[in-house]
Amino acid sequence: MSNPILQFGTSRFLQAHVDLFVAEAARREPSHALGRITVVQSTSNAQSRARIDALRASSVYPVRIRGRQGDANVDFTVHCDAITEALNAADDWPTLRERMRHDVKVIVSNTGDTGYAAFEEDIARTLGDNSVPRGFPAKLAVLLHDRFVAGAEPVTVFPCELVSRNGDTLRDLVVSIANQWRADGAFIRYLQHDCIWVNSLVDRIVSEPIHPVGAIAEPYALWAIERQPGMVLPCEHKDIVLTDDLAHYERLKLLLLNLGHTMLAELWLADLAPSDTNVRDAMRNEAWRTTLESTWRDEVLPVFDALGEHDAARAYLVDVRDRFENPFLDHRLSDIARNHAEKKQRRFKQAVELAHQLGLNIDQRRLVAALS
């Protein structure tokens, strides 16, 4: 079996985003997809193991798309068949290393909040150690070294973790590990200059799993990919955007979608509202909706206007309203309010600081009050 796409992570997000993109592209026109996917469980998580077992039993799983598009509700199911091999890193390490030496052209990852963690036991290893590293960056360092030694062409790496400049960040972690293992300079140069580490932003709410494998997702989807010379894409898809300005898409998501969520959570906390209140409920609360719309209009959109992004911001906001009004999504404000103080610093403070940097004389009283 020769699968050119190697995926680390079994999350429902990847099932309903990257994996579905590849399946849809191949269904539309086989040449629009690079090929099929080998998925790897890289942790000991029992739920991940159950998904790997399910994918081994049947490589086809359902993705149910539910939400609003314009004035209409949509609710339909797509069957995803992009994954044709499922491995467990701990059990199938020799097979995975063999795949990496010969078959892989693209690596995709979404390894969760702790996916980039460094472990002392990994740092204490050497490149000649045949045991399985614990952390994802260390696993990747070993696999890329295997490929380097085999003389295979460099790969393109697409991290999908929600980390700023995720490609640069993962590259630096892998290079740091290789340096601590005292790898030779040629391999370090291979990592830094030959392999292509792509910064990207993924945006889709995947609200629920379908057991044992599958997912329920909203209609909206975006994969904004920073253009790089020589990079190999896993597929061509209408929801993949190649851009020279990834920061533009990061701002839209952070200052309109994420900021909107956090403003609703701020209002929910202030009113001591019921614990089961979700985003759609909040949008139906007239006072909260008025405050949110005023915040967007008066305190955030002028920032995008000053950046020359007037039309893009308003078009994105149309999609955000549809997403917030999704009748099928129980997105609880109690979940959004986790780490609320830290989220306000990242979302509200950036909008205020950008306004100052741009020399805007606007009243951002709601954002400032929430920060104080």
Mean pLDDT of 324-352: 96
Determine the Cα–Cα distance for residues 17 and 31; give it in Å rounded to an integer.
19
The rounded percent of the chain whose pLDDT value lies above 70 is 100
Strand order in the sheet with 61-69: 72-80, 61-69, 215-217, 206-209
Q: Phi/psi at 117 (nearest 5 deg)?
A: -65, 145
Q: Tens of pLDDT along 42-65?
A: 988 899 999 999 999 999 999 999
Residue 23: count other Cβ atoms within 10 Å of its Cβ.
23
Residue 202: count other Cβ atoms within 10 Å of its Cβ.
21
Q: What is the mean pLDDT of the chain?
A: 96
pLDDT the model gives residue 78: 97
pLDDT the model gives residue 323: 97
Q: Tens of pLDDT along 125-141?
A: 998 899 999 999 999 99
Burial class (CB in 10 A: 0-12, 13-18, 19+), 372: exposed
pLDDT > 60? residue 339: yes
pLDDT the model gives residue 43: 87
Could you tell me the pLDDT band of residue 70, with boundaries at 50, 70 and 90? confident
- Pair 170, 195: CB distance under 8 Å: no
- Pair 79, 61: CB distance under 8 Å: yes
Determine the Cα–Cα distance for residues 97 and 102; give it in Å rounded to an integer.
9
pLDDT the model gives residue 74: 96
Domain boundaries 5-244, corresponding CATH code: 3.40.50.720
| Strand runs labelled E in the chain | 5-8, 37-41, 61-69, 72-80, 83-88, 106-109, 156-159, 196-197, 200-203, 206-209, 215-217, 222-226, 240-243
Q: How far apart are the first and last CA of the chain?
A: 58
pLDDT > 80? residue 1: no
Residue 133: count other Cβ atoms within 10 Å of its Cβ.
22
Mean pLDDT of 252-278: 98
pTM summary value: 0.94
- Pair 329, 205: CB distance under 8 Å: yes
Residue 30: count other Cβ atoms within 10 Å of its Cβ.
9
pLDDT > 90? residue 86: yes
Q: Tens of pLDDT along 162-191?
A: 999 999 999 999 999 999 999 999 999 999
pLDDT > 90? residue 71: no
DSSP H helices, 181-257, are: 185-189, 246-252
Q: Tens of pLDDT along 193-214?
A: 999 999 999 999 998 999 999 9
pLDDT > 90? residue 112: no
Class of domain 247-371: mainly alpha
pLDDT > 60? residue 15: yes
Where do the structural domains in the chain lie, given as residue ranges? 5-244, 247-371
